[in-house]
Amino acid sequence: MPEHEIHIRFYEELNDFLPEEKRKKRFIHQFIDRTSIKDLVESLGVPHTEVDLILVNGKSVNFKYLIHEGDDISVYPVFESFDITEVQHLRPKPLRKPKFVADVHLGRLTRYLRMMGFDVLYKNNFDDDEIVRISLKEKRAILTKDRGILKRNKVTHGYWVRSTKVEEQVKEILDRFDLKKDIKEFSRCIECNDPLKSIKKETIIKQLPPKVAAMQNEFYKCPSCKKIYWKGSHYQRMLTFIQSTKDIDK
Ligand SMILES: [Zn+2]
């Protein structure tokens, strides 16, 4: 059977999904049966949730486009701040106030994001179906180490977390979802994701270690698990870390 050829190139961070020899260059892809551009892109390893714009022979197309012999294809990632008005973006509008649901591999990342005030649902026994269901029902972006889940047709918002180091993972999320200006420490419980409430020292002073009672005056309480938060030494470390994330790209 005759094989057909197209030329294709992936831009920017989409190259993270490709093998070395296909990165940052136009390469030839051969096919027998015509498929949709979505299936082609995903067969090469890139989840559709990562893609915002596809140009075929210089014109933007949607995911249903069927590839033709000789097509010249360029695939671009989500540009939160890239203004191209003449073309057809494939992503639904960014979620205004991003909320997340994280997969079972991202427990530490979840705690960091909550510490910075972001709404992240997480359970160490979430299965993929449950994550997708929550994402669609509550309009939450999926954070995952498993790109397979992002290839599901129903999924609209998601991000494949690249790094295995939690500090770098946090920076990836802040960049991708443009969240640096939205960091609000001491606003959310690290354990259960509920918003914290400010609480008067007198009402909890008996529960505090003497040193804390003597030195701290500002306290917050989780209405669900009743955990009490104050700005101790862990807080200073957190501030240093948050500051380091803000310093990037200045
Ligand atoms: Zn709590």
What is the pTM for the complete model shown?
A: 0.75
How far is 66 from 63, CA to CA, in rounded Å?
A: 9
Q: Tell me how far the alpha carbon of residue 195 lies from the centroid of ligand 1, in angstroms.
A: 8
Q: To which residue do tokens 């989500």 refer?
A: 78
Which tokens sit at 35?
């498929």
- Note the pLDDT of residue 182: 86
Which tokens sit at 217?
């005056």
Q: Tell me how far the alpha carbon of residue 130 lies from the centroid of ligand 1, in angstroms.
A: 22
How far is 101 from 140, CA to CA, in rounded Å?
A: 6
Q: Tell me how far the alpha carbon of residue 116 lies from the centroid of ligand 1, in angstroms.
A: 15
Q: Tell me how far the alpha carbon of residue 110 lies from the centroid of ligand 1, in angstroms.
A: 14
- Note the pLDDT of residue 88: 62
Q: Tell me how far the alpha carbon of residue 221 lies from the centroid of ligand 1, in angstroms.
A: 8
Q: Tell me how far the alpha carbon of residue 184 lies from the centroid of ligand 1, in angstroms.
A: 16
Q: Tell me how far the alpha carbon of residue 12 lies from the centroid of ligand 1, in angstroms.
A: 39
Angle at 59 between CA 56 and CA 63, to 5 degrees: 60
- Note the pLDDT of residue 18: 96
Q: Tell me how far the alpha carbon of residue 10 lies from the centroid of ligand 1, in angstroms.
A: 43
Q: Tell me how far the alpha carbon of residue 99 lies from the centroid of ligand 1, in angstroms.
A: 18
Rounded average pLDDT per 10-residue block, the chain, 250 residues? 87 92 95 92 93 90 94 83 52 69 95 94 94 92 93 89 94 87 88 94 90 91 92 80 64
Q: Tell me how far the alpha carbon of residue 142 lies from the centroid of ligand 1, in angstroms.
A: 22
Angle at 194 between CA 193 and CA 198, to 5 degrees: 130
Q: Tell me how far the alpha carbon of residue 149 lies from the centroid of ligand 1, in angstroms.
A: 29
DSSP secondary structure, 76-128, as one string: EE--TT----SS---SPPPPSS--EEE-TT-HHHHHHHHHTT--EE--TT--H
Q: Tell me how far the alpha carbon of residue 222 lies from the centroid of ligand 1, in angstroms.
A: 5
Q: Tell me how far the alpha carbon of residue 21 lies from the centroid of ligand 1, in angstroms.
A: 47
Q: Tell me how far the alpha carbon of residue 227 lies from the centroid of ligand 1, in angstroms.
A: 6
- Note the pLDDT of residue 81: 41
Q: Tell me how far the alpha carbon of residue 193 lies from the centroid of ligand 1, in angstroms.
A: 6
Q: Which residues surround ligand 1, an ion (CB under 5 A)?
A: 189, 191-192, 222, 224-225
How far is 103 from 127, CA to CA, in rounded Å?
A: 8
Q: Tell me how far the alpha carbon of residue 9 lies from the centroid of ligand 1, in angstroms.
A: 46
- Note the pLDDT of residue 91: 63
Count CA atoms closer than 13 A to 5's CA, side-chain side: 4
Q: Tell me how far the alpha carbon of residue 108 lies from the centroid of ligand 1, in angstroms.
A: 16
